[in-house]
Amino acid sequence: MRSRLPMRTSGHNRTKAFLRSKTWFPGLNDAVENALKHCLACQSVTDKQNRFEPLQMSDMPSGPWENLSTDFCGPLSTGEYLFVVIDEYSRFPTVEIMKSTSANATIPVLDKLISTFGIPKTIKTDNGSPFNSHMFKEFSENTGFQHRRITPRWPKANSQAESFNKPMMKAVRAAHIERKNWKQELFKFLRQYRGTPHPSTGFAPFSLLFNRETRTKLPQTPTQRKSAVDECVRQNDELAKRKMKNNAKLNNSANDIRCGDVVLMRNEQKNNKLAPNFDPQPYAVVAKKGSMVSVSSTPGLGKRTTRNASCFKRISNTFASRLTEPEFVEMEEMIPDSKPVQNAENVPKTVPSLKPMQDTVPVAEDIPKPAVPERNAIPVSNSIGPYKTRSGRTVRKPAALKDFVK
């Protein structure tokens, strides 16, 4: 059936319309649906509906500078990076300008912030190379904070740092267009952002972190913090998260992927227009924790790949036979050398004779000397009088050497 559908990649409706224009038979719709469902090429190039996992709101920390979110932004036109660290309670941002994203450059900057504000409980990062290094693991253990990594290739799990990057980069781009010093404009933006009430908490990040109002150019009256500020902050934060989750429910739905299902993973690196939306290599779901799904192309042996559940597309289990099966090689079958081993029949019967060793050591005079190629001898005259060169020039002895005696 599938071999007789030249337009099967055109979609369900077009394939059905093509068949109805030529023929009809009972159960045509079900046959087309079943044929396209079991076509791996069709499943790889057909995108699914853009529905994501329901938002999972995290609890607000009990106090400031307990949970931090970090992210790198860049590189900029100058080759520099912006290292962003945000306090999840107060939403207070700190930005460090760096020339490298390596662990050797990231750890001292983060250590300086910890020395200034204190040791946090957890630091949330993405899966970049500086945070996956053994050096950063030792730094977290020695310093005393818990390192938490988000789901790979899912920046929405680090939403606070990602959402802060948008207005920050707008300020940097505007400074570049106006030909201003972008670093000074960045510092102006940070002063304004830290002193502006955040929409989720209703209070300025500076006041929540330092328990005082920041001083600006605008006139202000001294205010005294109320004792119920923390309760008000929590109510506003819960209300904002509830509103955000309700809005996201309109387009989001929980996935039905389970362990053992055969899925396709979204193609994250499309090199050209012919690249499919999903990798044609089937994967088997080996683990699932919330919206974090781990798959493997060789269950039991191959390495696991972890992504958000929205990055997978479940297909028919008939493709389970296309999973890469591990190959076992017996040690006895492994031949170190590809050359055939000669047996007794292949050994030549004639053995070249060996010359007997001399008992006497040859004298140095008996050893033949290597032949030295002859060179054109240059005639040397013993006389010190004048002589002529080939060109006819007469060479005389200097007058200062006339009294010289050998």
Model confidence at 384, in pLDDT bands (50, 70, 90)? low
Residue 387 Cα distances to 378, 380, 393, 403, angstroms: 15, 11, 8, 19
Main-chain dihedrals φ then ψ at residue 67, nearest 5 degrees: -115, 125
- CATH placement of domain 262-322: 2.30.30
Between 281 and 102, where is the model more confident? 102
Taking the whole predicted model, whether its pTM rises above 0.85 is answered as no
Q: Are 299 and 286 in contact (CB under 8 A)?
A: yes
For residue 269, what are its two tokens? Answer: 């690196």
Overall average pLDDT of the 31-56 stretch = 78
Q: Which of the four CATH numbers 3.40.50.2000, 3.40.640.10, 3.30.420.10, 3.40.50.300 does domain 67-248 have? A: 3.30.420.10
Model confidence at 329, in pLDDT bands (50, 70, 90)? very low
| Percentage of the chain modeled with pLDDT above 90 | 35
Q: What is the pLDDT of residue 351?
A: 45
**Contacting residues for 189 by C-beta, under 8 A, at least 6 apart:** 167, 168, 171
pLDDT at position 383 over 80: no
Q: What is the pLDDT of residue 95?
A: 97
Residues 69 and 65: their CA atoms lie apart, in Å, by: 10
Instruction: Express each pLDDT in 245-295 by its tens digit.
Output: 888 777 777 778 889 899 999 888 877 767 888 888 899 999 988 889 999
Overall average pLDDT of the 94-99 stretch = 96
Q: What is the pLDDT of residue 341?
A: 45
> Hey, where are the domains in the chain?
2-37, 67-248, 262-322
**Contacting residues for 102 by C-beta, under 8 A, at least 6 apart:** 129, 130
- Cis peptide bond N-terminal to 61, omega within 30: no
Q: Largest Cα–Cα distance in the chain? A: 131
Secondary structure (3-state) at 289: strand
Residues 396 and 113: their CA atoms lie apart, in Å, by: 86
Instruction: Look over the chain and give the mean of its residue pLDDT values, rounded to a whole number.
Output: 80
Q: What is the pLDDT of residue 68?
A: 96
User: What is the number of residues in the chain?
Assistant: 406
**Contacting residues for 222 by C-beta, under 8 A, at least 6 apart:** 213
Q: Are 70 and 84 in contact (CB under 8 A)?
A: yes
Instruction: Express each pLDDT in 117-142 by its tens digit.
Output: 999 999 999 998 999 999 999 999 99
Type and span of the H or E element at 218? none
